[in-house]
Amino acid sequence: EAGVTQFPSHSVIEKGQTVTLRCDPISGHDNLYWYRRVMGKEIKFLLHFVKESKQDESGMPNNRFLAERTGGTYSTLKVQPAELEDSGVYFCASSQVAYEQYFGPGTRLTVT
């Protein structure tokens, strides 16, 4: 069974540009989560989808971040326009139950 995949693995963009991160969850997992780790600090929750609906987006830092989950399958996280403080590693996870979240390898975003 394929695990959670994320694309790209690393992205370097300039301040003000737009970046779109993609996450493909494990097939059949209704729950999809986005997290990020900034500057070696703790990993922080961004939002949670159940199928195509946003269940909890309390962790989204501001309106420059837009997450979508098309047809309850893959998800994208768009940052527009990117700021320096958005640099970090963005993790996606999927699950059938909350206490079994499976994580992808992460996307390292560098904003210069």
Partner 1 sequence: GNSVTQMEGPVTLSEEAFLTINCTYTATGYPSLFWYVQYPGEGLQLLLKATKADDKGSNKGFEATYRKETTSFHLEKGSVQVSDSAVYFCALVNINFGNEKLTFGTGTRLTIIP
User: Which residues contribute to the site for partner 1 (CB under 8 A)?
Assistant: 3-4, 6, 31, 33, 35, 37, 40-45, 48, 55-56, 58-59, 91, 93, 98-106
- At closest approach, how far in Å is the CB of 105 from partner 1? 4
Residue 81 or 105 having the CB closest to partner 1: 105
Strands 31-37 and 10-13, sheet pairing: unpaired
In this structure, are residues 32 and 23 in contact, taking their beta carbons and an 8 Å threshold? yes
Q: Which residues on adjacent β-strands are paired with residue 24? A: 5
Output DSSP code: residue 90: E
- At closest approach, how far in Å is the CB of 30 from partner 1? 11
Q: How far apart are CA 16 and CA 42, in angstroms?
A: 25
Residue 60 or 81 having the CB closest to partner 1: 60
Torsion of CA 65, 90, 87, 45, to 10 degrees: 60
Residue 48 or 86 having the CB closest to partner 1: 48
- At closest approach, how far in Å is the CB of 14 from partner 1? 26
Residue 16 or 29 having the CB closest to partner 1: 29
